[in-house]
Structure 1
Amino acid sequence: MSNPVLTLENAMLALDGNAGRIEILHGISLQVEAGETVGLVGPSGSGKSSLLMLMGGLERVTGGTVMALGNDLTQMSEDALARFRRDNMGVVFQSFHLIPTMTALENVATPLELAGVSDAFARAEAELATVGLAHRIGHYPSQMSGGEQQRVALARASVTRPRILLADEPTGNLDLANGDAIMDMLFDLRDRHGATLVLVTHSNALAERCDRVVRLVDGRIAQAGA
């Protein structure tokens, strides 16, 4: 039986720029099932990251609908979307997006603190240990390598036990060794927490580990097979 966690129906995205209105996504219809891992691939500028942002409610559709866990994201206020992401989603970006004035421990604890979790720092410390950074909990992002910063970002995304994990080029800024390590950790987090994982990647090796690959070309789905 189908059990979609994410459903997009004729989702469109257009942005207004200096050169006028730019059509980015053209009528995307897609379902992602519970526990599935989907890789979004395609050439640069094909709309992969924009599609991921729609799934996370980080961009607003200009047409169509986006449903996540039975909730219509297109009808939510910004505050409601923020609460929904906090409670149900983990997002990992290529450029880490850590708070530079916070230690690794504080960065990972932040989403738990916002949710009012009483043992936020204990859980954050345990999650950092899971990604091999128990010895770095008191360090700031500027004191860590790119691979270590991405591991902190992974820990922050997974510490809330999200049902949906979104990753935008999670290995894009890393060398091969660190990229492989982050890949392994990402899939381990998915397995440990039973999350549905959607990731944008240019890596064939990462795409091959997904249950299904969706290829985008010019803002349209060109292929959505296994």
Structure 2
Amino acid sequence: MDTSRDPIIELREVSLTLQGSAGPVNILRGVDLAVGRGESVGIMGASGAGKTSLLMVLSGLERATSGSVRVAGRDVGAMDEDALARFRGATLGIVFQGFHLVPAMTALENVALPLELAGVREAFAKARESLLAVGLSHRLDHFPAQLSGGEQQRVALARAFASAPDLILADEPTGNLDMATGAKVMDLLFNLCAERGATLVLVTHDRSLAGRCGRRMTMRDGLLAENGEAFA
């Protein structure tokens, strides 16, 4: 795919420096990335390479120290916190390794909550539809503790897709699941992205999962390269 035609992600010379106990730590070091709409990109790399930090910068949950971050045509670095929250609610779906569900809320309430916070009309109806799409219509009123790990991650998927986002960011989404359950969750994730035309950026340690993506990249010491390219 020619990512220059209609990029949903454009990163140029993006750096991220955080303050550690021993001084500044360079997490991202001049990352360039263009991703076209509808693409799937798998990013691999060792722990500490900067993969999760890259997703944090893309979502605006972490602000880049320098460089340009544009997502869905918006300058992420120029938005204040309120604008970022609205932007995430309308544009992004995020799936974490930890399920990040509210223990005191049912599956339906967990999916509806971000829709309500974003001011979406008929939030519970949309949440119900999203849970139906991941095969959990029979678990609407169950709390996270009453659900298996695979079911909790499917609730997280339903939450991520409920707002019909253009972009899904997935950070080790099978990390807390056994192999068989993880495979089912990933089938669901790829199918939902394909059905809805959503762009997927997937961070994973699993080479076979990365191999299911249209593009494969590797992150090392804060640098990002297409597979087959040499690091500087």
TM-score by length of 2: 0.94
Instruction: Name the residue aligned to 1:55.
Output: 58
1:205 equivalenced with 2:194 (yes/no): no
What secondary structure, in the 3-state scheme, does the structure 2 residue paired with 1:148 have?
A: helix
Q: What is the Cα deviation at residue 224 of structure 1? A: 4.6
Instruction: Name the residue aligned to 2:70.
Output: 67
Percent same amino acid at aligned positions?
57
Q: What is the Cα deviation at residue 116 of structure 1? A: 2.3
**Structure 1 unmatched runs, 5+:** none
Q: What is the Cα deviation at residue 143 of structure 1? A: 1.4
Task: Name whichever of 176-185 and 119-128 sits farther off.
Answer: 119-128
Give, in whole Å, the separation in 1 of the partners of 2:91 and 2:73. 12
CA 58–225 in structure 1, closer or farther in 2 if over 3 Å, else same: farther
Instruction: Name the residue aligned to 2:159.
Output: 156
Residue in structure 1 matching 2:96, options 90, 93, 98? 93
1:82 equivalenced with 2:79 (yes/no): no
What secondary structure, in the 3-state scheme, does the structure 2 residue paired with 1:151 have?
A: helix
Give, in whole Å, the separation in 2 of the partners of 1:46 and 1:11. 15
Q: What is the Cα deviation at residue 197 of structure 1? A: 0.6
Say what the alpha-carbon RMSD is for the aligned residues.
1.3
**Structure 2 unmatched runs, 5+:** none
Give, in whole Å, the separation in 2 of the partners of 1:214 and 1:53. 17
Q: What is the Cα deviation at residue 188 of structure 1? A: 1.2
TM-score by length of 1: 0.96
Give, in whole Å, the separation in 2 of the partners of 1:4 and 1:224. 20
Give, in whole Å, the separation in 2 of the partners of 1:194 and 1:65. 25
Verify the 8 A CA contact 1:104 1:136 in the aligned structure 2.
yes
What secondary structure, in the 3-state scheme, does the structure 2 residue paired with 1:154 have?
A: helix
Instruction: Name the residue aligned to 2:127.
Output: 124
Partner deviation per Cα, 1:43-89 (whole Å, 9 max, x = no partner): 11111111111111111000101001111101111111111000111
Give, in whole Å, the separation in 2 of the partners of 1:217 and 1:175. 27
Q: What is the Cα deviation at residue 91 of structure 1? A: 0.4
What secondary structure, in the 3-state scheme, does the structure 1 residue paired with 2:46 have?
A: coil
1:196 equivalenced with 2:199 (yes/no): yes
Paired residues, what number? 226
1:171 equivalenced with 2:174 (yes/no): yes
Give, in whole Å, the separation in 2 of the partners of 1:55 and 1:122. 29
Give, in whole Å, the separation in 2 of the partners of 1:224 and 1:81. 32
Q: What is the Cα deviation at residue 117 of structure 1? A: 2.5
Instruction: Name the residue aligned to 1:220.
Output: 223
Instruction: Name the residue aligned to 1:42.
Output: 45
Give, in whole Å, the separation in 2 of the partners of 1:20 and 1:190. 41
Give, in whole Å, the separation in 1 of the partners of 2:65 and 2:156. 30
What secondary structure, in the 3-state scheme, does the structure 2 residue paired with 1:5 have?
A: strand
Give, in whole Å, the separation in 1 of the partners of 2:96 and 2:22. 28
Partner deviation per Cα, 1:82-107 (whole Å, 9 max, x = no partner): 11000111000000111111110001
1:12 equivalenced with 2:15 (yes/no): yes
Give, in whole Å, the separation in 2 of the partners of 1:139 and 1:25. 40
User: Which one-letter code corresponds to 1:195 in the other structure?
Assistant: A
